[in-house]
């Protein structure tokens, strides 16, 4: 983490909660965070049908709200899809894009992800580009190649200002939901590689502004280690973000290092 980049910690609730659970979690977070907060920028990403309720509960709190995906098309006849324009009406801050679960279970390609990023920028949502290698790719020594391909395809053609605003999240697939978080040094190596790609694309100044998060079995015990690394600027948290006390401990990582 550098002093020029404000740390960012995002909770990804995935498809885990019912409406009342999302509302309850949002209320608990709002109460817990209001009294103690002087920490990183933060947001939570509920499922589409819960976005409005959660956003209304968190109104006036420091906790922002993001979507977990969006459709790249402009409004029109696309049954079942939710586009960036519809999300922007909810006054969200972020959209997670290209999460490995979208790539794995819904067949999203690098090209789809690139289009979604442009759609998010079209309406002023901050895209959070997720990328990362599978265990097989890691064991085959192709982590770097996979990361360069995924990030390269997503950022191609973006202007420096967009690249400075974009958030990236390195989520090695083998670390997601497994309890096997990446070694800090290994994650740092990937983050440095990605910052190098940003620098090539947009120059040093822009690349120094872009936040690159780590995700994969982050909890209150290991978050401080990641945030201490030079090019790790925050965390994308899955399972641990469903427990309000644990998520708030993660936000207070400086007190726990
Ligand atoms: P876990 O924190 O449950 O490993 O999930 C990480 C993730 O996929 C966040 O987007």
CATH number at residue 62: 3.20.20.70
pTM here is 0.96
Quote the CA–CA distance of 256 and 254 in Å, as a whole number.
5
| pLDDT band, residue 36 (cuts 50/70/90) | low
Q: Which residue ranges have their beta carbon within 6 Å of ligand 1?
A: 12, 99, 171, 176-177, 215-218, 236-240
- Token digits of residue 239: 């399972």
For a mutational test of ligand 1's pocket, the pick from 17, 130, 235, 238, i.e. the residue with the most ligand atoms closer than 8 A to its C-beta, is 238
Lowest mean pLDDT among 2-16, 184-198, 216-230, 231-245: 2-16
* Spatial contact of 227 and 237, defined as CB atoms under 8 Å apart: no
The answer as to whether 195 is a domain residue is yes
Residue 257 has a pLDDT of 52
Residue 152 has a pLDDT of 98
| pLDDT band, residue 235 (cuts 50/70/90) | very high
The helix/strand/coil state of 204 is: helix
pLDDT at 176 over 90: yes
* Spatial contact of 234 and 6, defined as CB atoms under 8 Å apart: no
Quote the CA–CA distance of 34 and 27 in Å, as a whole number.
11
pLDDT at 37 over 80: no
Which active-site residues does the annotation give? 99, 171
DSSP state of 183: P
Q: Provide the domain count of the chain.
A: 1
Q: Read off the pLDDT of each residue in 148-156 and give the average, rounded to a whole number.
A: 97
The answer as to whether 2 is a domain residue is no
CA angle, residues 96, 180, 150, in degrees to nearest 5 = 40
The answer as to whether 137 is a domain residue is yes
The answer as to whether 205 is a domain residue is yes
Residue 35, domain extent: 8-256
Nearest C-alpha neighbor of 197 from the set 102, 113, 131, 111: 131
CA distances from 98 to 70, 150, 203, 252 (A): 10, 9, 24, 28
Residue 34 has a pLDDT of 74
The answer as to whether 1 is a domain residue is no
The answer as to whether 3 is a domain residue is no
Q: Ligand 1 centre and the CA of 217: distance in Å?
A: 6
The answer as to whether 210 is a domain residue is yes
Residue 205 has a pLDDT of 92
Ligand 1 atom nearest residue 215's Cα? 6
Encode burial over 156-170: b for 16+ CB neighbours within 10 A, e otherwise.
Answer: eebebebbbbbbbbb
Mean pLDDT estimate for the chain: 95
Percentage of the chain with pLDDT > 70? Answer: 96
Residue 254 has a pLDDT of 77
The answer as to whether 93 is a domain residue is yes
């Amino acid at each position: 983490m550098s002093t020029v980049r404000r740390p960012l910690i995002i909770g990804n609730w995935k498809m885990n909660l019912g409406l009342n659970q999302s509302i309850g979690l949002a209320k608990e977070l709002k109460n817990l965070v209001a009294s103690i907060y002087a920490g990183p920028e933060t947001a939570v990403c509920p499922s589409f049908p819960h976005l409005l309720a959660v956003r209304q509960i968190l109104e006036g709190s420091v906790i922002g709200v993001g979507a977990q995906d969006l459709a790249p098309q402009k409004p029109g006849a696309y049954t079942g899809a939710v586009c960036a324009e519809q999300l922007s009406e909810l006054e969200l801050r972020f959209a997670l894009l290209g999460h490995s679960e979208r790539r794995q279970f819904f067949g999203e390609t690098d090209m789809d992800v690139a289009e979604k990023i442009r759609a998010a920028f079209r309406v002023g949502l901050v895209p959070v580009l997720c990328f990362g290698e599978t265990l097989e790719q890691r064991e085959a020594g192709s982590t770097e190649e996979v990361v360069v391909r995924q990030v390269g395809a997503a950022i191609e053609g973006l202007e420096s200002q967009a690249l400075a605003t974009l958030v990236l999240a390195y989520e090695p697939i083998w670390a997601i939901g497994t309890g096997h978080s990446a070694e800090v040094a290994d994650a740092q190596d990937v983050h440095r590689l990605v910052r190098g790609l940003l620098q090539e694309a947009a120059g040093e100044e822009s690349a120094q502004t872009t936040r690159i998060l780590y995700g994969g079995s982050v909890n209150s015990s290991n978050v401080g280690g990641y945030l201490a690394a030079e090019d790790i600027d925050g965390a994308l948290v899955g399972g641990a973000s469903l427990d309000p006390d644990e998520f708030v401990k993660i936000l207070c990582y400086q007190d726990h290092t």
